[in-house]
Structure 1
Amino acid sequence: MSPRSDEPRRDPTGSRRGSARDAGPADGEPRTGEPGIGGISGARAYTPRGRTVREERGTPARGQGAEQRRTPRSTRSGDPFRPALQVLDGGRAAARSGRRDAPAAGRGAVVRTVAPRTPRGPAGDEPPPRRRTTPRAPRRADRPAARRPTRKPRRPPKLADSRLRLRLGTVLALTLFAVIGIRLIFLQAVDAPAYAGGGVIDRTRTVELPAPRGAIYDSTGAPLARSVEARYVYADPTKVEDPGGTAKALSPLLGIPVSKLMELMKPRKLENGIASTFAYLARGVEIPTAKRVQALELPGIGVHRDERRDVPGGDLAANLIGFTSQDMDGLEGLEARYDDVLAGQDGKRVYEAGLGDLGAPIPGGYSQTTPAKPGSSLALTIVRDLQFRTQQILSAGMAKAPGGTGAAVVMEIPSGAVLAQASNPTYDAAKPLPSDPVAREDAATSFVVDPGSVHKAITYGAALQEGVITPDTTFPVANAIKKGDTWFPDTHPADGKRMSVPGMLAYSSNVGAITVADRLGRDRLIDYQKRFGLGKPTGEGMPGEASGRLLPADEWSESSAGSVPIGHSVDATPLQMTAAYAAIANNGTYVQPHLVKEVIGPDGKRTPAPAPVTRSVLSPQNAAALRTMLEAVTTVDRATGLAAAVPGYRVAGKTGTGWRLVNGKKQPGEVSSFIGMAPAENPRYVIAVFVYAPNGGGAAVAGPAFRDMMQFTLRHYRVPPSADGSAPKFVVYPH
């Protein structure tokens, strides 16, 4: 923009445009203060956007002349410096010009400008003013300048009502707070347990604290079975990177074939469709071996604390002890029978822990520990050394009867405690699988047989007690006797000669025993069978003990009168027959056989086992008389039990030959037995040996086995030999 000239602007007609202020100056006034001519006064009066407030106040009413409504062009000029000049001048020029609306001299005043009217649009608004084309007449100097009427600036369109917006915002805020409050109430009062439970499940960890299983000791405190700390090796199939290489690395350490390990590590899904992340590879691994597995650092392979059942003796008393599962649950033998005593109560630790890499316990978080309660231990009546020797002797004898079954029981008098109880075949309880289930059975309590002639001691004992016979009784004995349609012969024919009762026992006369039973009667014989403990389990402590069976009186046939007195048509176990002979050795008092001596609690407190059941069967005098008669079996010439005699000791006992029945069917071969006691004058021990030999020859095993077992037992306990010359002299065929 070019600088403004001091000369006033002229219109095209050549006349000077302006208002009355364009007239010549008053007398003596300089021209520099006149508006419209230029200079500082013109700059002060100039507003770039329209009329000044001063001009607004002096605007004439509608209807005045056009000249009066016109605003000097100088006032509508676009000079941008005019407002600043007005402020600097403070209105002094206006005061000099004589205007009434000028601010006082010397006082700074700010002149507010008013924006020009915005032209209205075509929709009913006023059209913009037309540009004048005719020249305006010069304004008279004696008339004030006409000013354009002022209009209020157009208000902007009303976009929204602030009060409505405030109300709407308040309602929305209150609604939001109400919804949040109701939700908080539900979370705190209604849904709190569910969310709290879910949170606890996510945060808490549970660690099982295994309870050690109780041990099994012999009567001297030597361990027969015990639990030792071990490790188990497991795999997470989802993390195993190289199954083949992993299996090859673990196979020599765990002793498991590579193919089996690969099968165990094979990915599989659970019933819920989730991939399994755990699989046992080996249980009961020794700690040094587990450390070697850990050192391999195989992906997906881990080691954790475990428990292993240690059986130091291997097959020692294996048929009695039994074994446990890998989870320490008793499966057979005493381990199963007393599982509730031996098994402890596992404890656990529940605590809060972080997730992911922060899976450590949270300090100060929830933590509760339930200590594990170790199981109690069992102290048996078994003597380890005696058990070992009994098993050894029985095993050597059974080698002569291949395919057979043997049982041996050593019982202490007068306590009824079982000092040894052996079975053959047997197995290694430390490695029970694989093994034949038959080999794991305890033959003494599960082997049901027709006892044969060892039952005759019960028949003679009942006859003595009932007064049917005396030790001096004799009567003629035929070579055979018929009952019903069955003949019962003797192996040592008497040819009808008179025979003593000791002679009948020495030669195991069937005819003599049946004759005595006829005098005793069926009912009294059955009654004494029950008193001696036949027909029901002894309750020794072994699980699955057979009860045997007595023939009820209403089932007797004519032949039963011949078979029952000699031990046929009677089902019994070796242990039942041992207990019956123990009653004879114990002065006629039956004592329940038992294996458990005491229970040892985790705190070391010892609780004796319940007292065994006792009852009187024979009088001491009759029991002593019967023992004396039974000595004839091991002393009389050509007696059946000479092979069972123990040098230096008086032995009273009886041989037997019976059968084995399976599901009511007689099995091939025979069951040979010998049950005896020593020293006969004051018995300390009763030993029974039963041998089932499918091919026969069991008698050659039973007698010698008894002899060796009794000899070892007497020496082990340092029992003094019998006095010389104390053995009685028996007459088989008195004149």
Structure 2
Amino acid sequence: MPPRSDEPRRDATTGSRRGSSRGAAGRGGDPRTGEPGVGGISDARAYTPRGRTIRESSEQRAGREERTGQRRNPRASRSGDPFRPALQVLDGGRAATTRAGRRENAPTTRAGVIRTVPARPRPDDDEELPPPRRRPARAPRRPDRPAARRPSRKRPRPPKLAEPRRRLRLGTLLVLAIFATIGIRLVFLQAVNTPAYAGAGVDDRLTRVDLPAPRGAILDRTGAPLARSVEARYVFADPTRVKDRMATARLLSPLLGVPVSELAEKMKRRGDSQFQYLARGVDIPRAKQIEALELAGIGVHRDERREVPGGDLAANLVGFTSQDMVGLEGLEARYDDLLEGVDGKRVYEAGLGDLNAPIPGGYSMTTPAKPGSSLVLTIDRDLQYQVQQVLGRQMAQTRGSVGAAVVMDSRTGEVLAQASHPTYNAAKPEQSQPTDREDAPTSFVVDPGSVHKAITFGAALQEGVITPDTTMPVANSITQGDTVFSDTHRANGRRMSLPGMMAYSSNVGTIEIADKLGRDRLIDYQKRFGLGQPTGVGMPGEASGRLLPAEEWSGSSYGSVPIGHSVDATPLQMAAVYATIANDGTYVQPHLIKEVVDGQGGRRTPAEPPVTRPVLSPANAAALRTILEAVTTVDDATGVAARVPGYRVAGKTGTGWRLVDGVKQPGEVASFIGMAPAEKPRYVVAVFVWSPGGEGGTVAAPAFREMMGFTLRHYRVPPSGGKAPKFEVFPR
């Protein structure tokens, strides 16, 4: 290899020297020998990417343009960066190129192959790259010369690189989706579920305190309490925390009034139970003493106790409640919904542990309790007491008997007193028998007997069958069907007046009047007077009684029904019959409720007005009262024992039977129902006494006398101004 020239190199575009002569650089050979020299770095830079020099490429392009007559944009003819010429890769060490850039056949002594590696053109090159060089057409292969088999070299494909843009887009979308999901969830929580989560948080801090509503009171007509609720305490035990049952029971027994053994049994552990009542309705001072003992497992809490100031006063009317203030019997049960209040509550936020106190400014809501309404009865407490005392004393003369007494205001239908015997203490109902707690005036079903004769006489007067002056012969007995009906006071066929028939309670005379009246009209007046249906006085379980339907009448019924047999009625129903007579023939429904007092504002609501209907004309009612007055006026009359000193009394005695489920009971039911003053009646008193031995006749009339006398004095009714009329039993 000849030595490298020391001349400076010539730049490819300016022709300056860069280490070789012009001729050597332009022709690519050795100027001294004329042989193509070995290409150096300078020669390699002089070639284009296709293996031609820049000059050769320009000359070749100029010649092509002259032949075709086309000119190209000189800016587009730039081949590339002149400072980045193509490198010539030599196989065999020498290049075989001509000035024009055409490849000539190499000498047979050299088998060198020239390969060029094009350089990437720069975007600011002024010359356009030359078109690709076409290979000369191959000469047909000679048949006698086998084709040279060129080795096939398959260039390996480079691995496909990931696209960063696609990866970036995918990642961006994924991040945006995550943020969108989080944002939507936050909006949902803040806008939609906020109340629910806030409420759940508040619930954990809320404390609820019940505000019990007191039960309404039951008052008499003057406002005096017959039953009322008072605040109390209940004492309870947690058996799982009680340490010494016997020692605890001994400390509590004198305070609660409960035996030690009973308390110890209640505190006995039973499974996982953590609550057991020890006492209900404990007075507040006594409850404070129990709290002061600080006994393990013993607690005290607010309670309500039903207080009955009178004990047994009107107990059969008022009834009682359970320890949970639920009405069980009497008016307490009948008007339980009205008397029961609506509990309130207080809900507030409080801390936990030692900070268990209302949080200032926290949530707080109070629903006030609504106390129950109070019932104001028509009962007069003082009169009720006296009636009960009288009934009790009179009933003491009989053994195993049942008594009922009713005092009514004939003009208004108000029940002023309603007593039963036996009775009980409503404050301690557990100590009584169920039969002691029945209200006899509304549940005591009897055959009323002769007190029913007032209905027969009244219907006959109203229908014009008889007049107040009617007289008729009365036999000692009469037969109806297969039954003979007789009189106790024998008339022996003499003519008797209507007052005489009533005074001596003539069965025969009454039956004969009923025969003239007729069956259907008698049944009609029984209904008008209120028999056969409950009075609706307000007591639960009131009996309706029963009238014998016309189709069930037998031959004997024409004799039994007019005198008060084969008829089922209650003492209150029969008292309403006589009140109708006393009220000038107008029936007024008996009732016990006067008004209702609102538990919140004290607003008073009168009870519904009673049902009224005319039964008799005032004239016929007055005539009937006069007839009934003979019962207490005529000598040897049946009701002489019912006279009230200073007052004229109209009434009637009766003797009937007691019926239990339609079955006649042994003994008799004696009764007396009367009104006073007879000339202008104000009050009606009814007394019914059933005794197994039949001693009621000696009890009913005297009991009426005492009760009516006290009632007239209690209400300051002046004595009768005139004397009772003179009655002729057997007129001439």
When the two structures are superposed, what TM-score results if normalisation uses the length of structure 1? 0.73
SS at match of 1:331: strand
2:213 matched to which residue of 1?
211
SS at match of 1:672: strand
1:204 & 1:558 partners in 2: Cα distance?
Answer: 79
The residue correspondences of 1:114-513 to structure 2 (distance < 5 A) are 198-268=200-270, 275-513=272-510
The residue correspondences of 1:499-648 to structure 2 (distance < 5 A) are 499-602=496-599, 603-648=601-646
Superposed displacement of residue 184, structure 1: 5.8
1:76 matched to which residue of 2?
none
SS at match of 2:258: coil
2:358 & 2:333 partners in 1: Cα distance?
Answer: 39
1:628 & 1:228 partners in 2: Cα distance?
Answer: 51
More moved, 390-399 vs 347-356:
347-356
Superposed displacement of residue 203, structure 1: 2.6
Deviations along 1:65-117, one digit per CA (max 9) or x if unpaired, are: xxxxxxxxxxxxxxxxxxxxxxxxxxxxxxxxxxxxxxxxxxxxxxxxxxxxx
1:222 & 1:674 partners in 2: Cα distance?
Answer: 30
Superposed displacement of residue 178, structure 1: 8.4
Superposed displacement of residue 665, structure 1: 1.3
2:94 matched to which residue of 1?
none
Deviations along 1:399-443, one digit per CA (max 9) or x if unpaired, are: 111111100001113111111111100011122212111111111
2:663 matched to which residue of 1?
665
Q: Which amino acid aligns with 1:473?
A: T
2:130 matched to which residue of 1?
none
Superposed displacement of residue 496, structure 1: 1.7
More moved, 438-447 vs 324-333:
324-333
2:595 & 2:253 partners in 1: Cα distance?
Answer: 43
Superposed displacement of residue 477, structure 1: 1.4
1:195 & 1:266 partners in 2: Cα distance?
Answer: 44
1:689 & 1:198 partners in 2: Cα distance?
Answer: 67
Q: Which runs of 5+ in 1 are unaligned?
A: 1-165, 270-274
Superposed displacement of residue 179, structure 1: 8.5
* Number of matched pairs: 568
2:241 & 2:188 partners in 1: Cα distance?
Answer: 42
More moved, 239-248 vs 416-425:
239-248
1:398 & 1:184 partners in 2: Cα distance?
Answer: 85
Residues 240 and 173 (structure 1), Cα distance of their counterparts in 2 relative to 1, 3 Å cut: farther
Q: Percent identity?
A: 76
Q: Which amino acid aligns with 2:224?
A: A
Query: Residue 698 of structure 2: which of 693, 697, 700 is its match?
Result: 700
1:468 & 1:167 partners in 2: Cα distance?
Answer: 118
2:543 & 2:351 partners in 1: Cα distance?
Answer: 57
Superposed displacement of residue 262, structure 1: 2.6
The residue correspondences of 1:84-103 to structure 2 (distance < 5 A) are none
1:292 & 1:609 partners in 2: Cα distance?
Answer: 45
Q: Which amino acid aligns with 1:613?
A: V
Deviations along 1:563-612, one digit per CA (max 9) or x if unpaired, are: 11111111111001001100000100111111122222232222222211
Deviations along 1:322-357, one digit per CA (max 9) or x if unpaired, are: 111112222111122222222221111112223344
Q: Which amino acid aligns with 1:326?
A: Q
More moved, 407-416 vs 240-249:
240-249
Residues 358 and 455 (structure 1), Cα distance of their counterparts in 2 relative to 1, 3 Å cut: same
2:292 & 2:246 partners in 1: Cα distance?
Answer: 18
Q: Which amino acid aligns with 1:208?
A: D
Superposed displacement of residue 276, structure 1: 3.2
1:251 & 1:227 partners in 2: Cα distance?
Answer: 25
SS at match of 1:407: strand
1:571 & 1:664 partners in 2: Cα distance?
Answer: 9
Residues 234 and 690 (structure 1), Cα distance of their counterparts in 2 relative to 1, 3 Å cut: same
1:518 & 1:483 partners in 2: Cα distance?
Answer: 10
2:532 & 2:526 partners in 1: Cα distance?
Answer: 8
Deviations along 1:21-80, one digit per CA (max 9) or x if unpaired, are: xxxxxxxxxxxxxxxxxxxxxxxxxxxxxxxxxxxxxxxxxxxxxxxxxxxxxxxxxxxx
Superposed displacement of residue 314, structure 1: 0.8
1:199 & 1:259 partners in 2: Cα distance?
Answer: 48
Superposed displacement of residue 549, structure 1: 1.0
Deviations along 1:154-212, one digit per CA (max 9) or x if unpaired, are: xxxxxxxxxxxx99999999999788778767866787676555544433222111112
Residues 537 and 243 (structure 1), Cα distance of their counterparts in 2 relative to 1, 3 Å cut: same
1:504 & 1:637 partners in 2: Cα distance?
Answer: 13
Q: Which amino acid aligns with 1:207?
A: V
1:4 matched to which residue of 2?
none
Q: Which runs of 5+ in 2 are unaligned?
A: 1-167
2:711 matched to which residue of 1?
713
Superposed displacement of residue 306, structure 1: 1.6
1:558 & 1:388 partners in 2: Cα distance?
Answer: 46
Superposed displacement of residue 723, structure 1: 2.6
Superposed displacement of residue 241, structure 1: 2.0
1:187 & 1:242 partners in 2: Cα distance?
Answer: 54
SS at match of 1:410: strand
SS at match of 1:660: strand
Deviations along 1:210-237, one digit per CA (max 9) or x if unpaired, are: 1122222211222211111211112222
SS at match of 1:293: helix
Residues 629 and 659 (structure 1), Cα distance of their counterparts in 2 relative to 1, 3 Å cut: same
1:41 matched to which residue of 2?
none
Q: Which amino acid aligns with 1:538?
A: T
1:617 & 1:329 partners in 2: Cα distance?
Answer: 41
The residue correspondences of 1:3-22 to structure 2 (distance < 5 A) are none
2:138 matched to which residue of 1?
none
Runs of 4+ in 1 over 6 A off after TM superposition: 166-183, 189-194
Residues 189 and 247 (structure 1), Cα distance of their counterparts in 2 relative to 1, 3 Å cut: farther
Root mean square deviation, CA, Å: 2.6
1:249 & 1:378 partners in 2: Cα distance?
Answer: 41
Superposed displacement of residue 452, structure 1: 0.8
SS at match of 1:457: helix
Deviations along 1:470-493, one digit per CA (max 9) or x if unpaired, are: 111111112221211112221112
